[in-house]
Amino acid sequence: YAALYKLDGINLDFENMYKTDKDVYTQFVREFYPLAKEQGLYVSVDVTVPDGSDNWSKCYDRKALAESVDYVCLMTYDQHWASSPKAGSTAELTWVEENLNKTLREVPAEKLLLGIPLYTRLWTTFTEDGQVKLQSKALNITSAWKEIEDNEAVVAWNEVSGQYQANFEKDGKSYQLWVEDADS
C-alpha cells in the first residue's frame, strides 16, 4: 500500500494501551522498522506526554522507541480533554514546555516532532437539578473565533497559557474558550 499510494512514511499511533504491553509494543516497533525501511519509508511513532495514567502515558518506553524509529511525535494536546473535570486549554504554553523538556530527557531533539492542536474546546458551565455541570465541545480555530465574535465575548491574553482566553454568558450558562492565533 505504501508503494501503491506513493507514501513517504508511516506514522504509528497506538493509544490507550495497557502499561503491561509497553515492551510488546516496543518490540513490534523494532520489528516493523526494518521492514518499512526496506520499502524506503520513514517511520514515526506518536507518544503522549510523560506523566499521567498507566494506559495513557506510562505505556510508552519513549527512549527505546526513539532508538527504533526515525521520529517521535509528542502529542502535546488534550491537557484538558473532552470530559475533563475542569475547563482549560487543550495545550497551554507552560504545560507544553514542561512536557517537552521531560520528553527531551528520553528522546533526542533531532528525532522529536511537536504535535500541536489545531482545535480548542468551548467549555459550558451550567446548573442542572441543583448541580453545577461542565461540558465541552471541540471547535476548530476558525469556528472558535466565530463563536467569540457571534457572542461578543470578552477576550484577553493569558500569559500562562500563551493564548487568548474568552468568556461570555448566554441563556443562563457560562462559556470559556482558550484559543490560538498567529501570536500564540
Residue among 141, 170, 166, 143 nearest 156 (CA): 166
List the Cα angle 84/86/88 in 5-degree steps.
95
15 in catalytic set? yes
Distance between CA 117 and CA 137 in Å, rounded?
A: 14
15, 31, 97, 149: the catalytic one is 15
d(CA 109, CA 113): 8
Q: Which residues are catalytic?
A: 15
